[in-house]
C-alpha cells in the first residue's frame, strides 16, 4: 500500500484584522477506505506554444465510476504575471492558474467523459507541471 500525504499551509499577517495561520494534511486514500492511492501518471510537464486547448488527462484513460478518489496536481511554471492556464473539466471552466499558481484538486471521472483540459493565455512558450494520483 502506498502512503501519500498532501499538506497545505496558508499564512498572512495583513489579509485579515488578525494574523492568519492555517495548516492541514490528508493521507490520500482510495474512495471509502483506508487503502492508499497506488497509481500515478508521474510528474510531467506540458510545454505549449499556442492558445489552443489541450487535453491533459483523457477520462477514457483512467478508471471511471462514482467511487474513485483521483487527485490532480497542477502548477504554472511561468514567471510572467499576466500568463495563465485556463483549467477546464469538459466544457466547464474551473479557473485560471497564473504564473507561479498551483492547484491540488479531486477529479470525479464518474462516467468517463470528464476530460481535464488546459488553455494557455498566450502563444509564446508556457509550461505546466502536472501529476495525477489515482486508483485503478
Express each pLDDT in 7-58 by its tens digit.
999 999 999 999 999 999 999 999 888 899 999 999 999 999 999 999 999 8
Characterize 52-62 residue by residue with b for buried, 16 or more Cβ atoms within 10 angstroms of its Cβ, and e for exposed.
Answer: eeeebbebeeb
Residue whose C-alpha cell reads 465510476 in the numeric block: 65
- Dihedral sign of CA atoms 117, 120, 125, 126 in order: negative
* Upper half-sphere CA count for residue 96 (Cβ side, 13 Å): 10
Which domains does the chain show, CATH number per domain? Answer: 30-134 (2.60.120.10)
Mean pLDDT of the 69-75 span: 93
The C-alpha cell at 52 is: 489552443
Amino acid at each position: 500500500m502506498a502512503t501519500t500525504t498532501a499538506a497545505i499551509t496558508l499564512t498572512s499577517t495583513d489579509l485579515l484584522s488578525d494574523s492568519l495561520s492555517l495548516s492541514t494534511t490528508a493521507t490520500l486514500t482510495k474512495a471509502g477506505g483506508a487503502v492508499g492511492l497506488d497509481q500515478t501518471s508521474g510528474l510531467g510537464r506540458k510545454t505549449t506554444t499556442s492558445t489552443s486547448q489541450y487535453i491533459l488527462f483523457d477520462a477514457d484513460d483512467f478508471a471511471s465510476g462514482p467511487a474513485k478518489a483521483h487527485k490532480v496536481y497542477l502548477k504554472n511554471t511561468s514567471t510572467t504575471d499576466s500568463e495563465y492556464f485556463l483549467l477546464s473539466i469538459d466544457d466547464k471552466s474551473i479557473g485560471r492558474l497564473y504564473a507561479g499558481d498551483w492547484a491540488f484538486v479531486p477529479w470525479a471521472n464518474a462516467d468517463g467523459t470528464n476530460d481535464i483540459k488546459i488553455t494557455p493565455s498566450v502563444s509564446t512558450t508556457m509550461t505546466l507541471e502536472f501529476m495525477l494520483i489515482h486508483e485503478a
